[in-house]
Amino acid sequence: MIGTIRNTALLLILMAPISEAQTGQHCKPESIAPTAPSSRFQRGDNGSVVDTRTHLMWRACLEGVTGEACDEGKPLALTWAEALAYVPNANGDGGFAGHSDWRLPNIRELGTLVELQCTGPAINLAVFNNAPAAGVWSSSPSGFHTHYSWYVDFVTGAFTYGERAKPKAIRLVRDLH
């Protein structure tokens, strides 16, 4: 009887909604060196972020999200094919921030945004405001399975691959010329 009560109590605890205090980014700056420090990035007034180390320009917000603090709208959830098809449309009508050469980043480029001292999300929130802990597609197909492509899981910062038919967010990038 006592075992049943304990099991029931444990089940109720596990099923309880997670409170706001339990969610959100968790960082360990005292034990892990920063991998994407704010000093490496320059935030533009036009919704862009320049990485001075990689010489890439990123859109500050995920696609589908706008606002100075990336707090308006919600991220698009696209399959890999939809993500690839989205890019030419995003570059139409003058593009974004005066540029029409935006693209999906490859997995190595996308991985440069991972802040390994943080999880939930594993990204520098001082630079990429309100970035969710979500999977973000890269343009890199998987060499292991023909129906998989690489993405970064910004919950943990892991580089992984997944089925192309499962929707994920996208963040566009361009090369600085």
Per-residue pLDDT of the chain (177 residues; tens, 9 = 90+): 554 444 433 333 333 333 333 459 999 999 999 999 999 999 999 999 999 999 999 999 999 999 999 999 999 999 999 999 999 999 998 899 999 999 999 999 999 999 999 999 999 999 999 999 999 999 999 998 899 999 999 999 999 999 999 999 999 999 997
Report yes or no on 64 lying in a domain: yes
Report yes or no on 9 lying in a domain: no
* Domain total in the chain: 1
Report yes or no on 20 lying in a domain: no
What six digits make up the tokens of 45? 């007034």
CA nearest neighbour of 109 among 33, 43, 55: 55
Report yes or no on 83 lying in a domain: yes
Report yes or no on 11 lying in a domain: no
Report yes or no on 137 lying in a domain: yes
Give the range of the structural domain holding residue 161, as residue numbers without chain letter: 25-175
Structural contact between residues 60 and 47, judged by C-beta atoms closer than 8 angstroms? yes
The CATH number given to whatever domain includes residue 63 is 3.10.100
Q: Radius of gyration of the chain from Cα atoms?
A: 19
Report yes or no on 18 lying in a domain: no
